[in-house]
Structure 1
Amino acid sequence: MANKSIFRSVPGSRVPATDTVNREGAPAYQMKPYQALAQLAVTGTFNRTFYAGAGEQLDEVMDLAWQVQPDYLAKTAVYAFEQGRMKDMPALLLAVLSAMEGDEFNRAFPRIVRNGKMLRTFVQMIRSGVTGRKSLGSRPKRLVQAWLETASDEQLMRAAVGNSPSLADVIKMVHPKPKCRSREAFFGYLIGKPYEVGALPEVVKAFEAFKRDRTLPVPDVPFQMLTALELTKEHWVQIAQKAGWQMLRQNLNTFARNGVYQVPGFTRMIADRLRDRDTIRRAGVLPYQVMVACQYADQGVPYEVYDALQEALEIALELVPKVEGRVVVCPDVSGSMQSPVTGYRQGATTAVRCVDVAALVAAAMLRTNPDTVVLPFERTVVDVRLNPRDSVLTNAAKLASVGGGGTNCSAPLERLVEQRAQVDVVVFVSDNQSWLDAARSRYQGTGMMGNWHKLKVLNPKAKLVCIDIQPDTTSQAVERADILNVGGFSDQVFTAIAQMVDGGSSKEWTRMINAVEL
Structure 2
Amino acid sequence: MANKSLFASLKGRFGSETNAVNLAGGNAYKYDDQHKLAQLAVTGTIGDLYYQDAEMELATVLQVANAVPDEFLAKTAVYARQQGKMKDLPALLLAILATRDPVLLSRAFPKVASNGKMLRNFVQIMRSGQTGRRSLGSRPKALVRGWLNSATDYQLLQASVGNDPSLADVIKMVHPKPRDAQRDALFAWLIGKPCAADALPAEIRDYVSFKADPKGRPVPDVPFQMLTHLPLSQKQWMKIARQGSWNMVRMNLNTFLRHGVFEDTQATADVAAILRDPQRVKKANAFPYQLMTAYQALSADMSLAIREAMHDALELAVANVPSFKGQVVVCPDVSGSMSGVVTGLRKGATFRTRFVDVAALVAAAVLRRNRGGTVLPFEVNVRKVALEPRDTIMTNAQKLAAQWGGGTNCAAPLEWLNQNRRSPDLVILVSDNQSWVDTWGRHHGAERTGVMRAWETLKRRKPDARWCASTLRPTARRRPRPGRTS
Distance in 1 between the 2:102 and 2:446 partners? 43
Instruction: State the partner residue of 1:53.
Output: 53
Counterparts in 2 of 1:299 and 1:350: CA distance versus 1, 3 Å? closer
How far apart are 1:49 and its partner, in Å?
0.6
SS of residue matched to 2:320: coil
Instruction: State the partner residue of 2:203.
Output: 203
Instruction: State the partner residue of 1:422.
Output: 423
Using the size of structure 2 for normalisation, the TM-score is 0.92
Q: Does 1:103 align with 2:106?
A: no
Distance in 1 between the 2:73 and 2:280 partners? 31
SS of residue matched to 1:451: helix
Stretches (4+) displaced over 6 A: 11-14
Counterparts in 2 of 1:451 and 1:116: CA distance versus 1, 3 Å? same
Identity score, percent? 51
For residues 453-493 of structure 1, the C-alpha deviation after alignment (integer angstroms, 9 at most, x for no partner) is 11111111111100000111469xxxxxxxxxxxxxxxxxx
For residues 306-365 of structure 1, the C-alpha deviation after alignment (integer angstroms, 9 at most, x for no partner) is 222112111111121111111111100000111101211124311000000000111111
SS of residue matched to 1:407: coil
Distance in 1 between the 2:476 and 2:439 partners? 18
Distance in 2 between the 1:305 and 1:200 partners? 39
Distance in 2 between the 1:65 and 1:221 partners? 39
2:67 alignment partner AA: Q
Instruction: State the partner residue of 1:478.
Output: none
1:194 alignment partner AA: P
Distance in 1 between the 2:17 and 2:300 partners? 55
SS of residue matched to 1:30: coil
Q: Does 1:267 align with 2:268?
A: yes
SS of residue matched to 2:29: strand
Instruction: State the partner residue of 2:463.
Output: 460
Distance in 1 between the 2:83 and 2:256 partners? 31
How far apart are 1:264 and its partner, in Å?
5.2
Instruction: State the partner residue of 2:243.
Output: 242
Instruction: State the partner residue of 2:16.
Output: 16
Map 1:96-135 onto structure 2 (within 5 A). Answer: 96-101=96-101, 103-135=103-135
Counterparts in 2 of 1:337 and 1:357: CA distance versus 1, 3 Å? same
SS of residue matched to 1:267: helix
Distance in 2 between the 1:29 and 1:91 partners? 29
Distance in 2 between the 1:280 and 1:83 partners? 17
Instruction: State the partner residue of 1:449.
Output: 452
Answer yes or no: is the 8 Å Cα contact 1:39–1:473 preserved in 2: no
Q: Does 1:36 align with 2:36?
A: yes
For residues 247-276 of structure 1, the C-alpha deviation after alignment (integer angstroms, 9 at most, x for no partner) is 111211221221112335312221221122
Distance in 1 between the 2:348 and 2:107 partners? 35
2:287 alignment partner AA: L
Counterparts in 2 of 1:237 and 1:403: CA distance versus 1, 3 Å? closer
Map 1:197-346 onto structure 2 (within 5 A). Answer: 197-214=197-214, 215-263=216-264, 265-346=266-347
Gaps of 5+ in 2: 1-9, 479-486
How far apart are 1:192 and its partner, in Å?
2.1
Instruction: State the partner residue of 2:475.
Output: 472
**Larger displacement relative to structure 2 (183-192 or 424-433):** 183-192
How far apart are 1:293 and its partner, in Å?
2.4
SS of residue matched to 2:423: coil
How far apart are 1:43 and its partner, in Å?
1.0
Answer yes or no: is the 8 Å Cα contact 2:315–2:392 preserved in 1: no
2:463 alignment partner AA: P
Distance in 1 between the 2:262 and 2:404 partners? 39
Distance in 2 between the 1:242 and 1:112 partners? 28
For residues 120-168 of structure 1, the C-alpha deviation after alignment (integer angstroms, 9 at most, x for no partner) is 1110010001111111111111110011112111111111111111111
Answer yes or no: is the 8 Å Cα contact 2:203–2:222 preserved in 1: yes
1:103 alignment partner AA: V
1:307 alignment partner AA: E
Instruction: State the partner residue of 2:170.
Output: 170
Counterparts in 2 of 1:299 and 1:352: CA distance versus 1, 3 Å? closer
Map 1:379-390 onto structure 2 (within 5 A). Answer: 379-390=380-391
For residues 388-441 of structure 1, the C-alpha deviation after alignment (integer angstroms, 9 at most, x for no partner) is 121111111111001300100111111111112111111100011100011746
Instruction: State the partner residue of 1:64.
Output: 64
For residues 182-223 of structure 1, the C-alpha deviation after alignment (integer angstroms, 9 at most, x for no partner) is 111111112122222221221211111001121221111222
RMSD: 1.8
Distance in 1 between the 2:102 and 2:178 partners? 29
**Larger displacement relative to structure 2 (139-148 or 99-108):** 99-108
Distance in 1 between the 2:412 and 2:242 partners? 50
Answer yes or no: is the 8 Å Cα contact 1:31–1:473 preserved in 2: no
How far apart are 1:12 and its partner, in Å?
6.7
Answer yes or no: is the 8 Å Cα contact 1:444–1:450 preserved in 2: no
Counterparts in 2 of 1:278 and 1:104: CA distance versus 1, 3 Å? farther
Distance in 2 between the 1:353 and 1:161 partners? 27
Using the size of structure 1 for normalisation, the TM-score is 0.87
Distance in 2 between the 1:185 and 1:106 partners? 28
How far apart are 1:233 and its partner, in Å?
0.9
Answer yes or no: is the 8 Å Cα contact 2:367–2:373 preserved in 1: yes
2:342 alignment partner AA: V
Distance in 2 between the 1:382 and 1:469 partners? 20
